[in-house]
Amino acid sequence: MQLPPTTFVDIARATGVDAYGDPTDVNSAPHARAVPAALASTSRQSQDPASGTPRQVTTLTCVLPRGTDVRDDDRITDTATGATYYVTGVNSGTSYGFSAGIVATLSAVGA
């Protein structure tokens, strides 16, 4: 991870499924604690095509150290704020001669 960490996060993973096959939050303890992370958000404005109403679209990104075990559907909790996010995508960062970090796209829980 080349960016300086802005916080530390805990990573939790669902360990079961409900009757519909969806992951459930049955885990009681995170599988990774106090992982250094750089959280960032970007916003843009777009219009709803049907009504023309302006909408604010916010994208949340988390950069984690290389080798961090994070997967789609994990939950990341910012230990500084207590905010919890769902991981919706995971990519290895592009490397230009240095070790790249893991880039996770997030969705705010309850948003």
65 phi, psi to nearest 5 deg: -60, 150
Domains of the chain: 7-108 (2.40.10.370)
The 10s digit of each residue's pLDDT in 54-96 is: 888 888 999 999 889 999 988 999 999 999 999 999 998 666 6
Count CB neighbours of 15 within 10 A.
12
End-to-end Cα separation, the chain, in angstroms: 28
Strands (E), the chain: 7-12, 16-17, 23-24, 32-47, 54-64, 75-78, 84-92, 102-108
**Residue 16 scores a pLDDT above 70:** yes
